[in-house]
Amino acid sequence: MIRVLLPILLVGFSIYTLVDCARTDESQVRNLPKWGWILIIILIGTLGPIAYWIAGRPKRPGSGGGPKRRILPPDDDPDFLRKI
């Protein structure tokens, strides 16, 4: 059973990664051009999709990395106090 299931999962993962890369905007793909990642995913087999997920896939918003916005309570917010 595992001899059949593992190759099916690997092919499915490769196809999913290929579609994800193809649908991603060119400006968001990291470290290589989009066509380069597509070639790597197709030609390298199992390691290509893993490399794309680690080094090429765009970072999603809210995944950290950006500056944290400080939330001000209403009595410390100058815009709120001007409106009163």
pLDDT confidence of residue 72: 66
Q: Domain ranges in the chain?
A: 1-58
Residue 77: predicted pLDDT: 76
Amino acid making up residue 50: I
Lookup result for tokens 């595992």: 2
Q: Is the pLDDT of residue 18 over 80?
A: yes
Give the pLDDT of residue 51.
Answer: 92
pLDDT digit string, tens, across residues 30-76: 899 999 999 999 999 889 999 999 988 887 665 555 566 677 677 77
